[in-house]
Amino acid sequence: MATHLQPPIPIPMLSAAYLATLKILLFRAGPADFPYSEQAGLSRGCIVFGIVATAAMLGQMLPLTMALASGVVATAGLSMFVRTALRLRGLESRYAQTRNALLATGSVLLLLMSLPMAAIMAAALTLSALALFGLARPAARA
């Protein structure tokens, strides 16, 4: 007896979220254009994406468990801020859509920044190791 597994997020919804994220990043759309779904799959995906992107960025400086914990705290903080700001403006019905749009766009930007940050962190670690062992030369004064 074979059962067919359905993906947790329908593929058209995922591609619509991807396209909306790119449009938001290119200032061609706003959070209102991000797809809304009654199912929790899209929200869960955006939350996990936010945690993983934050952990990838901070994982260059922190141990993996601390980076993941920081990702959870940052995602929860963003969620609480969005809920509070929308509640104050009387727009709480837009919560899931706005939070998902912020998490998706922020995660893409974090992942784009992680590549240059890796180079910066490698250079900083090299310089700090050289300074620690007294191998760094002081800069020549003109």
- DSSP for 84-115? HHHHHHT-GGGHHHHHHHHHHHHHHHHHHHHH
In this predicted structure, the answer to whether residue 2 has a pLDDT above a threshold of 60 is no
Q: Where are the alpha helices (DSSP H) in the chain?
A: 11-25, 41-58, 64-89, 95-132
CA 29/CA 33 separation, integer angstroms: 6
How much is the pLDDT for 58? Answer: 92
CA torsion sign for 27, 32, 38, 44 is positive
Name the most confidently modeled range: 30-44, 78-92, 127-141.
Answer: 78-92
CA 44/CA 92 separation, integer angstroms: 19
Q: 6 or 77: whose pLDDT is higher? A: 77
How much is the pLDDT for 13? Answer: 80
Give 8-66 pLDDT, tens digit per residue.
566 678 888 999 999 999 999 988 899 988 788 899 999 999 999 999 999 988 899 99
How much is the pLDDT for 87? Answer: 96
How much is the pLDDT for 132? Answer: 76
In this predicted structure, the answer to whether residue 122 has a pLDDT above a threshold of 90 is no
Question: How many residues are present in the chain?
Answer: 142
Q: What is the pTM of this model?
A: 0.79
For 112, the 3-state DSSP assignment is helix
